[in-house]
Amino acid sequence: MIELFTGFIEEHAFTGLFIASFLASTIFPLGSEAFVILLISKGFDPLSIIMVASIGNYLGACTTYYIGIRGRTDVIERYFSISKEQLERTDRLFSKYGAFLLIFTWLPLIGDAIAATGGVLKLDFKIFSFYVFIGKLARYVTITYITMSTMVFF
């Protein structure tokens, strides 16, 4: 049974990683970190893991941004579990810190609210993309580095 599971993961590794990373940045409270660690432990190419996870997570944030830009706060509140208060709090943070705040879309709990608020505020998509992708990339580089550094000791 374990061999079947291992074979499935190895055969669909990057597709699964992309889907997990995408969904982690949308409506599902899912983390992609475990998948990244698993693929690294299986010997998959770290650079490919970083890029697939970063692109998937970035595109998930773009989906959240799009829903925000369409003004669908009802969808955001209902399916993303982001309250009106969280959106208002994030709006205040944008007023204080500007677009730089988008780097933190990788953070659990508030990252989706940041991406959604970026859409609600109709921030320029190029600026949104730049900061969000940098944040997502930094996240997966860090996870990969820590995982690989720890594996050396085992």
- Residues 70-112 have pLDDT tens digits of 876 677 777 666 777 877 888 888 889 889 999 998 887 788 8
Spell 32-64 as b/e; 16+ CB within 10 A means b: bbebbbbbbeeebebeebbebbbbbbbbbbbbb
- Weakest mean pLDDT among 6-10, 12-16, 38-42: 6-10
Contact 25, 64 (CB under 8 A): yes
Domain that holds residue 68: 2-151
Instruction: Categorize the per-residue pLDDT at 8 as very low, low, confident or very high, splitting at 50, 70 and 90.
Output: low
The answer to whether 105 and 61 have CB atoms below 8 angstroms apart is yes
The pLDDT of residue 1 is 45
Residue 7 pLDDT exceeds 80: no
Number of domains in the chain: 1
The CA distance from 36 to 38, in Å, is 5
Q: Are 128 and 102 in contact (CB under 8 A)?
A: yes
